[in-house]
Amino acid sequence: MRNDFQVSIILPCVSLTLGLIGNILAIASLLYRRFRPLRLIVYQSIRRATSQQPTAVRTGNFHGIKEEAKKFGVIHIIVIVLLSVDIIGIVITSTITINRYATNLEMQESLLRLQIFNFVFITLLVLSLIMLIAIDRIIALKFAFRYNAEVGKRAYQVLYVIGIIFLFEIVFSLLPITGVVNTCVSPSYSVPRGCSQQSEYSVYLIFFVILGLILVSVTLVCNVLSLIEISRNLKKKIRMVSNYCEQGWRMTEVQKFVQILLVTISCFSCWLPLLIRILKNQVKVDTNYSQDIIAIQLTNVNLIVNPWLYWLLRESNLKRFVDFLK
């Protein structure tokens, strides 16, 4: 067993704390958006009308000002599922890492198998959900009118798609756990690898990496197309379905552009190193365990920043937080 690299218990504890706080706050904010009472929404509309159009308040004419309850669309459902998976992944990964530290990198075979399941299942599920968000965004941007008219009314049907993906990936992840695929585990390994290049476990891991690369590639293509579509809208000054003025609409489009760009950078920089590292470990013997630890930590970073990228750093949420503090 190698002892030439240090495993600090501080890092998994910090990751666990930050991840739980961010994801729970984001889920609470999304659920508040879905279930907040209508009277509060009407009150906020009247308060906004008072500050913007006092004459409308005196005459009792609130036409065009009073807003309806915010839509709870496809992206909100996918993000809630993604954040819930993030919490599970953070808890399992941090628990395993803390156990490694407490036992001087030695782990029982049951925890090693749990680690393999965590690698495969959480990685594929998170990448699949990120891909679904990217697909939803490009459809919403490319076919805005039809999306709001049809897809918005059937938002909860996306749960069937998520359910199918969940079942496929949990069955795939259980193959090495149930013994269908013979595994080769060692207490010294941080990233799953086969015993030899010809072993069926190595073939399984290579297929897993291929699936992960396909998900990442589809996400990249969709996000690039979304960025191109937003750029075209900004250049042509196309007014989409919105109640904002011209300046507010342009700021919203710029916010979407920056958000998608940051999501793309985060997805690639945090997940590609893990996939490449697993693939490299199957092609040839590589005992650079410190790089394995770095690849695992980068995936934890993505699980921590997801709630901030997808929800908490939205302009409306920041304004709501400032109003709450006031």
Rounded-to-integer distance, Cα 96 and Cα 105, Å:
10
Residues 6+ apart with CB under 8 A from 196: 202
- In this predicted structure, the answer to whether residue 283 has a pLDDT above a threshold of 60 is yes
Rounded-to-integer distance, Cα 112 and Cα 106, Å:
10
Between 228 and 45, the more confident residue is 228
> Among the ranges 54-58, 170-174, 231-235, 239-243, which has the highest mean pLDDT value?
170-174
Between 165 and 264, the more confident residue is 165
Q: Which pLDDT score is estimated for 100?
A: 72
Rounded-to-integer distance, Cα 263 and Cα 272, Å:
14
Return the structure tokens found at 31. 């659920």
pLDDT average, residue stretch 133-161:
84
> Among the ranges 188-202, 208-222, 233-247, 264-278, which has the highest mean pLDDT value?
208-222
Rounded-to-integer distance, Cα 315 and Cα 320, Å:
9
Single out the residue of 285, 271, 172 nearest to residue 215, CA to CA: 271
pLDDT average, residue stretch 6-17:
74
Q: Which pLDDT score is estimated for 70?
A: 53
- In this predicted structure, the answer to whether residue 61 has a pLDDT above a threshold of 50 is no
Rounded-to-integer distance, Cα 210 and Cα 3, Å:
32
234-277 pLDDT per residue, tens: 777 544 444 444 555 566 667 777 888 888 888 889 999 888 88
Q: List the alpha helices (DSSP H) in the chain.
A: 10-35, 38-52, 54-59, 74-102, 109-142, 144-146, 158-178, 200-236, 246-283, 289-307, 315-325
Q: Which pLDDT score is estimated for 323?
A: 63
Residue the block writes with tokens 């399992």:
92
Per-residue confidence band for 217, with pLDDT thresholds at 50, 70 and 90:
very high
pLDDT average, residue stretch 180-191:
62
72-117 pLDDT per residue, tens: 788 889 989 999 999 998 888 888 777 777 666 556 667 777 778 8
- Report the first-to-last Cα separation within the chain, whole angstroms: 56
Q: Which pLDDT score is estimated for 64?
A: 40
- In this predicted structure, the answer to whether residue 56 has a pLDDT above a threshold of 50 is no
Q: Which pLDDT score is estimated for 107?
A: 60
